[in-house]
Each structure stands twice: as C-alpha cells, then as structure tokens.
C-alpha cells in the first residue's frame, strides 16, 4: 500500500482540484482510499460528494473553567498562565492551551480543565472509494492531531479493504497539520504556481518534506501565466534533486469544474485533462519505482 | 525579547501574585501588546474617539484567494496619507515581503521555554511527566526524556517539580524580521522549518505592533490556532474570497471564526467575474458588506506572479484601494459601528443598521 499526499506550501495552487482528479484517474485501476487532511478548510468533499457512513466526534482540546463560587480571587492562576488566558479571573477559551497549570495551582480547587469538542471526522463512500475527512470547529487548535486521526483511519481502511493506494489532500503551510499529513507518507506531490510567492513557499515546503524524509515531486499549475517563473521553479527543483512531474496550463475550465462539483478530468477533455493525466502517470512511476507495479497496470 | 529570559530565575510559587512578577512567558512569548485581548476588542463600542490607531486583519480561510494582494495593496495605497505598519503573521509561508521588498533592520529570535533537568537533583518521581499536557516529558527509572518539539512552554514541569530540578531554557522556533519598506513599517515572522507550533511566532510579530496609526495584519490561511492568534484583538477583519464553491465553503468557516471572536468583518471578492453567485447570496443572507470586487484578468495575475503590487501597475488601483480603506474606516469608526457588524452575527447587527 502506498500513500501519496498532495501539498503546496502556498494555498490556492490547485491541490484539491488535482487530488480529486488523481482520485478519479486512479480508482479505475487501483483500490483507493481518500483522505482530506486539510481539516481547517476541507474542500475535497465538494468534488467527490461523499455519502457519510460514520461520524465521530473529536475531543482533545482541553479548556480551563473557573467556578466563581469556589474562587477566592487569589489570582495564582492568572499569574501562572503563560498564555494570558486568564484575565480578571475569567478564562478566555481561545487563548487557553489546556495545559492545566491553573487547575493544579488553585488552592481552592475552583479550576477544572475539561475536554471540549474540537471537530468531527467522517468515514464516507465516494465513487472513487472510501474517504476519511474531518472538519474543525471554527478557531480551534490541535488540527495536527485531528489530521493524525484522519490518516490513521484511512490507513486502517486501506488495510481492511486491501487497497493499493491512499491519496491525501493536504493543508497549506508548513506547520503542525502539514507535518501530521506528511510524516511517514511514501510521496509528497507539491503543487505550485509560477509566482514569486509560489516559488518561495515551494522551497519552504520542500525543506519540510526533506526534514521529515519524505520524497517529493513537484508540478507547476497555471505555468503559462509566467513561463519564466515556471522555468525558475523547475531549475530550483532540479538543483534540489526534486523531479518535476509536469506542467498544467491555465484554463478557466478548472474553475468551472469546481462550480459544477466535479474533478476537472471528468468535466472536460481539454488540454488540462491531458496534462493532469500525464502528471499522474509520472507520479505513479515515482511512487512505484521498484514496488507494486500493479498500480501501473492501466497507465503504464 | 530576551536573553534575560533564558537565564531568568526559576519560577517559584508566590503566595500573592505581585504586579512585578515577570515570568519566562512574559519575557519571551508573552503577549502584552497594545492590541489587547479579544474581549477588549469591543472597546471601539464606546471609546472610538480615544483610540489612536486601527488594526485591520486580512484573512480568508481558503488559501490563494488574494489575502496578500489585498493586504499589501491596501497598505501601499494609504501609506502616503497615514502612518502604516504592515505585519505579516502568515509565519508558515510569509509572502508580503516579496511585494513590499522591505529593508530588514532587526532580526529577533523567537524562543519558547523548554525544560532542562538537573540530573543531580532529579529523583525520577515522574511529577513532570504527569503534569505535562503535551506529553513532552517521559520519566523512566534513572532517565528523563524531553521531547522539546512537543513542548508548548506552559512551565508546568518546572513549576511543580518538588525537587526544583527543572529550569527552563529557550528553544528557537522562528524569527521575527522588522524593518521598513519606504513609508511602511514592516515586520514578519518565519517559523523554522520542521517546527509545528506557529502561535508563539505570531505572538512575537504582533508584539511589534505600534499603538498608533494603521496596522495591517496579513493572516495565514485556515481557521485554527495561528489564525486565531493573528486575529485576537484586531479592530476589523477584511475577508478575501473567490466566488467558487471552495471559496464559499471556507468563507463560511472563516465567518464562524470572526463571529466567535466578535470581530466586525467585511468582504473583498477576488476574481469576481468567474465562478458562481453563491458567495454573493451568502453575503446577502448574512448581511456581510462586500467592499470591493477585483476582476479575474491575466494582467493582474501576471503582475502578481512577478511580485509587482497592483497599485504600482496603474493609478486606478491606488484609488480603488484608498476607497476600500475609507469604507473600512467608516465601518469601524462610523456611527454604524456601535450596532454595526460587530459581534456574534454580522446578520443581527446589520439588521440593526437598517
């Protein structure tokens, strides 16, 4: 079983559109499980229309609360909170990290730290295979842990169903949700765009994948908006030994496909579809170098 | 930020919390800026006239909708008329410097305090491991393991160690770089590669905030802790989206965040001539004002790709962003702001406006 995660550093480069397209291309020849690990702002379900089979609550965030009746107003909790989460003996739940210092230091036993609902995660069916996805409550923390839960469930499902492949739609950035989505995966597909921001963020996210020992390949979306930029990005990838698996042209049909709620490869036969198909074939080559050539049956 | 913090005194438990208590936290990653706490954000209800400045955050939920484009152009468009400071709080992927090209004058290391165990004094009682909510400490017979990358720096282990065997040392997690870009004061943060925990770096950037003039904050995508950290205490949040089902879905999540924080918000719709009508319908239902629309066109996309701000490409855009700023100021400071969009519910509030 192989796990490929689509990330980008910069947001809005086309991760989800490509992940859904890869899913559509892959499911014809391989047993597939999908995971949407962008739990802050998940969008894959808008293209794959999962039917939810199982809903789970995710409770991990811990928040302090002060029992005003028991509180003597000594202020120790406030003095020891490193996160400025207690002011005038009121807990600000958005600043509270749930570390529990206040609970332990309170001489009156007035502070308790309770688990709170942080988000929900779902196991669903799509026509491309089962999908695990999640959604955070707005403004919550610990999204990295929710990502870990989603990935673990996706791996279990893949084992149960003897699936060959997990395709993960990852979050933007380089912080905890990205690290959770990336670590231990077989291949990172970095989707970038030929802007200065895209190039800058690509370099950072490639550093992260190297840091965690995950091999990466890159592809440039909307390359023709700034061809010199695309070349610079490919040169940067070359210098780092990161294979470039293709270029995808700019085409407003990508947006139309989103509006219609379909992976772009199912929506059109335009040039972009051919380009995405090629990208996926080359991803499979890197993913399967030396192992499980069955994945390549149809495409290679 | 402090070297002083690193060698600072071990925290003892004071019987009464004196005002002079300076813990590691306040020296190193404390957040005592003029921005105040979220619960004070409502101060513009009554004390508008007393305020010396205004803090505007630019956020989106979905990535790549044009946050940095809007934030940088807004800053440049008003920099000649107002003292403006730009804070890039997307510390995972900071991009504003690519457009503003600041001259960096100061670099500050951002550290969080992590435990260091004095093996002479340690009795391996396991208290530190018990009190650690992040499971960053493991105690075995004759051995204490510290997983520093999991540590959030709450200080519980040092505080509750019965032997006084734990001191705290600074562990670098990122940097803040500050300087100027022509008329703009500028600062941004960079989370170190491989670090998971962005909020301390966001807090450190926000500590640079001035207490006067206009402060513009570029926020990371998403809706979780780094976003909340950047939004805490701001006067206004400008949401940027694109009119697609993805943009709409993530906009709804982001509206949930600003409602929870009680921050007044309005919208800029980027690439406004593509996609579908869902975003406008949602804004009408929620009564969220749409302050600006930016069309999808190749010239804009190309100048973005090359790192050229829109306001530098033609004067029309400078004018439009100046108008955007006037609209924001009217929402924040105008008579509408008292019952305006503030609080849990853009919907309720604008209802009052009518």
**Greatest mean pLDDT among A55-69, A199-213, B8-22:** A199-213
Answer whether B133 sits within 8 Å of A11, measured CB to CB. Answer: no
Q: Is the pLDDT of residue A17 over 90?
A: yes
Q: Residue B159 is nearest to which of A12, A101, A176, comparing CB atoms?
A: A101
- Percentage with pLDDT > 90 across chain A: 86
Q: Which two tokens stand for residue B236?
A: 């206004």
Q: What is the pLDDT of residues A120-136, one digit of tens each?
A: 999 999 999 999 999 98
Q: Is residue B327 part of a domain?
A: yes
Q: Which of A24-28, A216-220, B14-18, B308-312 has the lowest mean pLDDT?
A: B14-18
Q: Quick check: B294 and B272 in contact, CB under 8 A?
A: yes
Residue B272: CATH number of its domain: 3.40.50.300
- What does DSSP assign to residue A41? S
CA atoms within 13 A on the CB side of A244: 21
User: Which residues of chain A lie closer than 8 angstroms to B257, CB-CB?
Assistant: 138-139
pLDDT at A277 over 70: yes
State the residue range of the domain holding B280. Answer: 44-83+210-353
Question: Residues of chain B with pLDDT > 70: what percent?
Answer: 80
Strands A216-221 and A244-248: parallel
- Give the 3-state secondary structure of residue A162: coil
Residue showing tokens 């702002």 = A41
- Of the listed ranges A142-146, A188-192, B242-246, the least confidently predicted one is A142-146
* Residue B286 resides in a domain: yes
Mutation site for B-interface testing, chosen from A175, A254, A260 by largest number of B Cβ within 10 Å: A175
Q: Has residue B24 been placed in a domain?
A: no
The distance of A211 to chain B (nearest Cα, Å) reads 6
pLDDT over 80 (residue B28): no
Q: Of A34-38, A59-63, B138-142, where does mean pLDDT reach its minimum?
A: A59-63
pLDDT exceeds 90 at position B15? no
**Structure tokens, B77:** 């468009």
Q: How many domains does chain B have?
A: 1
Whether B37 contacts A93, CB under 8 Å: no
B17 contacts A78? CB cut-off 8 A:
yes
Q: What is the nearest CA distance from A40 to chain B, expressed in angstroms?
A: 5
Q: How confident is the model at residue A289 (pLDDT cuts 50, 70, 90)?
A: confident
CA dihedral in degrees (A287, A291, A294, A296; nearest 10)?
A: 30
Mean pLDDT of B209-227: 94
Q: What's residue A116's pLDDT?
A: 86
Mean pLDDT of B310-336: 90
The yes-or-no verdict on residue A296 having pLDDT over 90 is no
Whether B100 is covered by a domain: the verdict is: no
Nearest CA-CA partner of B8 in B160, B120, B168, B148: B168
With respect to residue B256, please indicate whether it lies within any of the assigned structural domains. Answer: yes
Statement: residue B23 has pLDDT above 70: no
Rounded Cα–Cα distance for residues A225 and A245 (Å): 18
Q: pLDDT class for A118, splitting at 50, 70, 90?
A: confident
* Interfacial B residues in 194-213 facing A (CB < 8 Å): 194-198
| Percent of chain B with pLDDT strictly greater than 90 | 73
Q: What is the mean pLDDT of residues B241-263?
A: 95
Side by side, the strands of the sheet bearing A165-169 are A51-66, A111-126, A129-136, A32-36, A165-169, A2-7, A187-192, A216-221, A244-248
The CA angle B312-B318-B323, to the nearest 5 degrees, is 160
CA dihedral B193, B196, B199, B203 (to 10 degrees): -30
Question: Across all residues in chain B, what is the average pLDDT?
Answer: 83
Question: Which residue in B17, B93, B261 is closest to A174 by CB distance?
Answer: B93
Residue B220 pLDDT more than 50? Answer: yes
Q: Which CATH number fits domain A60-117: 3.30.70.20, 3.40.50.300, 3.40.720.10, 3.30.70.890?
A: 3.30.70.20
- How confident is the model at residue B335, as a pLDDT? 61
Q: What is the pLDDT of residues A139-188, one digit of tens each?
A: 887 788 899 999 999 999 999 999 999 999 999 999 999 999 999 999 99
Provide the pLDDT confidence category of residue A268 given band limits of 50, 70 and 90.
Answer: very high
Chain A residues within 8 A of B301 when measuring between CB atoms? 222, 225, 250
Q: Which residue of A has its CA nearest to B135?
A: A99
Say yes or no for a CB contact (<8 Å) between A75 and B16: yes
How does the average pLDDT of chain A come out, rounded?
92
Report the b/e string of B208-236 with b at 16+ CB within 10 A: bbbeeebbbbbbbbbbbbbbbbbbbbbbb
Nearest-angstrom CA–CA distance, B2 and B108: 9
- In this complex, the residue of B13, B232, B245 whose CB is nearest that of residue A261 is B245
pLDDT of residue B136: 94
pLDDT of residue B336: 53
- Select the more confidently predicted residue: B210 or A141: B210
> Residue B349's pLDDT is what?
34
| CATH code of the domain made up of A2-58+119-296 | 3.40.50.300
B45-83 pLDDT, tens digit per residue, is 223 333 468 999 999 999 999 999 999 999 999 999 999
Out of B131, B222, B296, the one facing A171 most closely (by C-beta) is: B222
Among chain B residues, the shortest Cα distance to A86 is held by: B37
In the predicted structure, residue B21 carries a pLDDT above the cut 70: no
Could you read off the pLDDT of B271-296 as tens digits, one per residue?
999 999 999 999 999 999 999 999 98
Token pair 């947006």 is at which residue? A255
Q: Is residue B121 a part of any domain in this protein?
A: no
| Residue A289 near residue A74 (C-beta atoms within 8 A) | no
| Mean pLDDT computed over A178-205 | 95
- Top pLDDT among A296 and B350 is at A296
Provide the 10 A C-beta neighbour count for residue B300.
Answer: 18
**For A231-253, what is each residue's pLDDT tens digit?**
999 999 999 999 999 999 999 99
- pLDDT at res. A233: 96
For residue B70, being part of any structural domain is answered with: yes
pLDDT at A279 exceeding the cut of 60: yes
In a domain, B35, yes or no: no
Per-residue pLDDT tens digits for B147-188: 998 999 999 999 999 999 999 999 999 999 999 999 999 999
Query: Using CB atoms within 10 A of its CB, is residue B138 exposed (0-12), middle (13-18) or buried (19+)?
Result: middle
Sequence-ordered strand ranges (E) for chain A: 2-7, 32-36, 51-66, 86-87, 90-91, 111-126, 129-136, 165-169, 187-192, 216-221, 244-248
């Amino acid at each position: 079983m192989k796990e490929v995660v689509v990330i980008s550093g910069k947001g809005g480069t086309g991760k989800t559109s490509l992940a859904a397209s890869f899913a559509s291309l892959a499911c014809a020849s391989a047993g597939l499980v999908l995971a949407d690990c962008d739990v802050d702002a998940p969008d894959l379900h808008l293209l794959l229309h999962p039917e939810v089979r199982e809903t789970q609550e995710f409770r991990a965030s811990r928040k302090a609360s002060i029992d005003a009746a028991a509180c003597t107003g000594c202020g120790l909790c406030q003095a020891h909170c490193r996160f400025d989460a207690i002011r005038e003996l009121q807990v600000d739940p958005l600043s509270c990290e749930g570390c529990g210092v206040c609970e332990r230091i309170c001489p009156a036993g007035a502070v308790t730290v309770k688990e709170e609902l942080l988000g929900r995660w779902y196991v669903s069916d799509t026509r491309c295979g089962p999908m695990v996805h999640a959604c955070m409550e707005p403004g919550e923390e610990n999204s990295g842990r929710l990502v870990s839960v989603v990935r673990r469930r996706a791996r279990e499902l893949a084992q149960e169903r003897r699936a060959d492949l997990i395709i993960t739609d990852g979050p933007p950035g380089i912080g905890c949700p990205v690290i959770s989505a990336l670590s231990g995966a077989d291949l990172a597909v970095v989707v970038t765009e030929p802007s200065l921001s895209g190039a800058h963020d690509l370099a950072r996210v490639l550093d992260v994948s190297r840091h965690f020992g995950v091999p990466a390949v890159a592809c440039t979306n909307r390359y023709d908006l700034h061809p010199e930029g695309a070349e610079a990005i490919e040169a940067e990838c070359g210098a780092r030994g990161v294979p470039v698996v293709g270029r995808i042209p700019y085409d407003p049909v990508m947006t139309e496909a989103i509006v219609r709620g379909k992976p772009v490869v199912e929506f059109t036969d335009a040039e972009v579809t051919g380009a995405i198909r090629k990208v996926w074939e080359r991803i499979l080559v890197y993913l399967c170098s030396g192992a499980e050539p069955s994945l390549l049956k149809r495409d290679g | 930020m402090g070297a002083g913090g690193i060698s600072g005194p071990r925290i003892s438990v004071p019987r009464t919390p004196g005002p002079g208590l300076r813990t590691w936290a306040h020296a190193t990653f404390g957040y005592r800026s003029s921005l105040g706490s979220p619960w004070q954000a409502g101060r513009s209800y009554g004390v508008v006239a007393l305020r010396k400045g205004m803090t505007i955050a630019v956020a989106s939920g979905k990535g790549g909708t044009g946050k940095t484009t809007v934030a940088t152009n807004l800053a440049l468009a008003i920099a000649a008329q107002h003292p403006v400071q730009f804070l890039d709080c997307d510390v995972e992927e900071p991009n504003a410097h690519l457009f503003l090209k600041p001259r960096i004058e100061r670099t500050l290391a951002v550290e969080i305090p992590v435990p260091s165990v004095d093996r002479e004094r340690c009795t391996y009682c396991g208290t530190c491991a018990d009190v650690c909510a992040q499971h960053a400490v493991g105690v075995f017979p004759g051995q204490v393991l510290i997983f520093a990358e999991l540590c959030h720096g709450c200080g519980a282990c040092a505080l509750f160690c019965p032997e006084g065997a734990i001191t705290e040392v600074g562990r670098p997690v990122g940097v803040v770089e500050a300087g100027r870009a022509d008329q703009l004061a500028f600062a941004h943060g960079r989370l170190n590669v491989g670090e998971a925990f962005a909020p301390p770096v966001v807090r450190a950037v926000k500590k640079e905030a001035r207490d006067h003039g206009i402060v513009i904050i570029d926020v990371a995508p998403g809706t979780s802790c780094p976003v909340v950290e950047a939004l805490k205490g701001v006067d206004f949040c400008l949401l940027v989206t694109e009119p697609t089902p993805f943009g709409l879905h993530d906009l709804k999540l982001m509206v949930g965040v600003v409602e929870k924080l009680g921050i007044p918000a309005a919208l800029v719709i980027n690439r406004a001539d593509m996609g579908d009508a869902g975003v406008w319908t949602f804004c009408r239902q929620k009564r969220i004002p749409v302050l600006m629309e930016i069309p999808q066109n190749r010239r804009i996309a190309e100048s973005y790709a090359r790192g050229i701000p829109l306001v530098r490409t033609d004067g029309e855009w400078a004018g439009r962003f100046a108008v955007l700023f006037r609209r924001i100021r009217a929402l924040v400071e105008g008579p509408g702001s008292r019952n305006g969009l503030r609080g849990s519910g853009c919907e309720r509030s604008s209802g009052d406006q009518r």
